[in-house]
């Protein structure tokens, strides 16, 4: 699994499209800004890209005020099992870093921001490769 992160509007999806010769509008590319209810049964291609991880986190914390991180870990495990079950499968996760602004006034936004940060730590821990994209330039975290 390859995790790609960075601030908003930094060209993360563009970089993934170029790096993997993939298309954002093709099958196998799932966009969380439209719908983040990703299930492994929908993964039909060998390369699967999940874009907008923070949108999934938002959905999960709305449903689970407590235990959001554990619920997300469960999802991550299912995705990783899917990837590992065939040798040529590749999973790419794209998530916007939303953790460097002012502390949000609303409790639900603070929770969203916190759980996103924790989940990204879990994702990086499980990733074979992680990159931060800075205005199109990649910086390897691992």
Binding residues for another protein, rule: CB under 8 A, are 7-11, 14, 54, 96-102, 104, 109, 112-113, 134-137
Of the two residues 74 and 99, which places its CB atom closer to another protein in the complex? 99
- Token representation of residue 13: 């999806």
Of the two residues 3 and 43, which places its CB atom closer to another protein in the complex? 3
Q: At closest approach, how far in Å is the CB of 87 from another protein?
A: 34
Cβ within 8 Å of residue 86, ≥6 positions away: 46
- Token representation of residue 1: 């699994």
Q: At closest approach, how far in Å is the CB of 1 from another protein?
A: 24
- List phi, psi (to 5°) of 102: -65, 150
Q: Give ∠ CA 85-39-115 in degrees, rounded to 5.
A: 105
Q: At closest approach, how far in Å is the CB of 112 from another protein?
A: 7
């Amino acid at each position: 699994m390859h995790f790609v992160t960075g601030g908003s509007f930094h060209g993360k999806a563009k970089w993934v499209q170029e790096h993997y010769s993939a298309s954002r509008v093709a099958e196998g590319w799932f966009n969380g800004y439209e719908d983040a209810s990703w299930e492994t049964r929908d993964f039909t291609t060998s390369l699967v890209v999940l874009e907008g991880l923070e949108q999934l986190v938002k959905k999960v914390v709305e449903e689970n005020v407590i235990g959001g991180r554990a619920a997300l870990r469960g999802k991550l495990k299912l995705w990783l099992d899917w990837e590992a079950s065939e040798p040529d499968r590749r999973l790419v996760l794209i998530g916007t870093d939303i953790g460097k602004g002012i502390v949000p006034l609303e409790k639900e936004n603070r929770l969203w921001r916190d759980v996103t940060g924790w989940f990204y730590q879990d994702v990086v821990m499980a990733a074979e490769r992680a990159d931060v994209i800075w205005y199109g330039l990649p910086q390897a975290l691992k």
